[in-house]
Amino acid sequence: MRTALLASVLAGLSTGIGGLLVCIVPKINRRWYDTLLGFSAGVMLATASISLLGPALHKDGLVQVALGLTFGALIVHLLERAVPHLEPHFAPELKGHEKRLGVLLAAALTIHHIPEGLAIGVAFAGGGTSIGTLVAASIAIQNIPEGLAVAMPLRSAGLPRWKAFLGATASGLGEPVAALFGAWFVSVVGPIVPFALAMAAGAMIFVASDQLIPESRQQPEAKSPSLGLMLGFVCVTILSRVV
């Protein structure tokens, strides 16, 4: 459980890298931003399918896997209904009262990190150190664009760079709490580990399809988001053989 906690803290803090990029680069091109979002989606989809669903299916729990996928997606859907809904989800620039919207966006993304933390805790407790490390590393990579999503509106609203950076970093700190819950959940309900792994996978797939992919397609004719998605998928595939 301590390993899961440490890994989730590091993964959550990686949102600060995105905040740091906003401090260094005054304005990020929309195409690059969409590519990063596509990359994040590819990382999440590959992590869900390779790192979580694969081990779950090997444990001979097909019914549990199907139920877990459904339940994981439902959790994220309910979480989204419980927080302020902003459109677009990950816009690098927001109109109107940008400072207030930036804070709301940070709060929303903090809650959206809960499924990711849950996936880390479940992966460590249900799949072992190697699978847990792979999931944590993958989530850390895909958290960077989410840090950008928090820091950009805060910076454009006139906040100092260090405050935008801190806001981006703090948005990922919900992951350790969710990771502890995920690890505890698996320890309590050991016989339904396939369900727990699939639940984490379902949450990640829903986040990728409902948030990351649609927002990366603001320019429907652009191919860069799809290329980014494939690159993210390939990176996780390679990591799965290295870790």
Task: Please state the domain extents for the chain.
Answer: 2-242
Q: Are 200 and 47 in contact (CB under 8 A)?
A: no
Residue 123 burial (CB count, 10 A): 34
Residue 205 burial (CB count, 10 A): 23
Cis peptide before 88 (omega within 30 of 0): yes
Query: Sign of the C-alpha dihedral, residues 154, 160, 163, 164?
Result: positive
Residues 219, 237: Cα–Cα separation, whole Å? 28
- pTM score, whole prediction: 0.75
Residuewise pLDDT in 10s, the chain (243 residues) = 678 778 888 888 888 888 888 778 766 677 887 888 888 889 889 988 988 888 888 876 788 899 999 998 998 888 777 665 444 444 444 444 445 555 555 565 666 677 778 888 888 887 778 888 888 888 888 788 777 767 776 776 677 888 878 878 877 777 888 888 878 877 776 667 888 888 888 988 988 888 778 878 878 788 999 999 999 899 888 888 876
